[in-house]
Amino acid sequence: MDYSRLVGTALGAGDAQHQASRTRRAMSEQSGFQISGDAAELYERYAVPYMMGPWALELVELAALRRSERVLDLACGTGLLARLAAPKLGPTGRVTGLDFNSGMLAVARTLPSPSGASITWVEGSAVAMEFPDASFDVILCQQGLQFFPDKPKALREMHRVLAPGGRILLSVWKSAGPYNIAVGEALTRHVGTETATQYRAGRVVPDAEALHRLLLEIGFRAVEVRPRSRVIRLPSIEKFVLEHLSSSPVAGAVAALKEEGRAILAKQVKSALQPYAEGDGVAVPDETNIAMAYKGWDEG
């Protein structure tokens, strides 16, 4: 369904102006994960299969999706969760991928469509979604919450667009992990503290207790936060770390280094991860928290 057309039709002139103003305000509240150029293609090539993919399958399985459900992949990036969800919903289901970054959505639109539910890609903000109330039965969000400029506001929007009895599943990192610690330290030394802080922002997240409390305060019910851990295997680490950083918000700062400087940065990361060496690559432990919650049947 074309939601932008649906919203435009439903609103009168005055309401449409109010909606446009609301959208502009939301767009000014920039997400913390902004990339440009060919970074989105590199994100799909490196971050998705190695960093996000291993966790995505479990998140979708925990959602226990049913045929004909309406699913929102929030902060969808290049659409990994959306594509995993579509076959489980069947042709009568519906998937919407929402992301603030147009480059990510451009890549999502070029990737092969899976069988099952159709997928609609929408550019927009998590803190001011242009969807009617109760539009979705399930909301999935993988590693997006920490980048929203106003987390309570984004969660209230999720609650609003979720249908009564609907459920949300959010994943946020549980710890920094050896790989990200090593990369952050290398960035501090060879690029600068500001760049390192920007890189580390993705791991600055509410802990399990804070996440549980926040969801309850918003009005979600049956809140549960489950810790998960796994070993992440990364290929030839000196090459991988530079490619991974080129797909991240610090891509420009790293690219500004001379070739020798980038090589030294990569060698420091490899040295720091030597205890986890596996051939030319590494096998590093990582952790995430998955929060699951429901909207009450008695809530309109």
Could you report the per-residue pLDDT of 100-120, keeping only the tens digit for each? 999 999 999 999 999 999 999
Which residues share a beta bridge with 286? 230
Structure tokens at 254: 């790293």
> What local confidence, expressed as pLDDT, does residue 245 receive?
96
CA dist 178 → 86, 193, 250, 257 (Å): 33, 19, 19, 24
CA dist 276 → 223, 232, 241 (Å): 35, 10, 15
Residue 255 has pLDDT above 80, yes or no: yes
- Global pTM value: 0.87
Mean predicted confidence (pLDDT) in 255-273: 97
Residue 135 has pLDDT above 80, yes or no: yes
Mean predicted confidence (pLDDT) in 143-166: 96
Spatial separation of the C-alpha atoms in residues 236 and 2, rounded to whole Å: 43
What are the structural domain ranges in the chain?
3-175+201-231+287-294
Give the CATH fold of the 3-175+201-231+287-294 domain. Rossmann fold (3.40.50)
Residues whose CB is less than 8 angstroms from the CB of residue 281 and which lie 6 or more positions away in sequence, other chains included: 233, 234, 235, 236, 237, 240
> What local confidence, expressed as pLDDT, does residue 39 receive?
87
Could you report the per-residue pLDDT of 28-37, keeping only the tens digit for each? 344 555 565 5
Mean per-residue pLDDT of the chain: 89
Best CA proximity match to 129, nearest among 297, 299, 7:
7
Residue 228 has pLDDT above 60, yes or no: yes
Segments in the chain forming alpha helices (H): 3-10, 13-28, 39-42, 53-63, 80-89, 102-110, 151-161, 177-190, 193-200, 208-218, 237-245, 251-255, 259-272
Mean predicted confidence (pLDDT) in 226-254: 95
Residue 95 has pLDDT above 90, yes or no: yes
Could you please report the per-residue DSSP string of 226-287? EEEEEEEEESSHHHHHHHHHTTSTTHHHHHTS-HHHHHHHHHHHHHHTGGGEETTEEEEEEE
Contact (Cβ atoms closer than 8 angstroms) between residue 255 and residue 124: no
Spatial separation of the C-alpha atoms in residues 171 and 231, rounded to whole Å: 17
Residue 12 has pLDDT above 70, yes or no: no
- pLDDT cut 70: percent of the chain above it: 87
Residue 22 has pLDDT above 50, yes or no: no
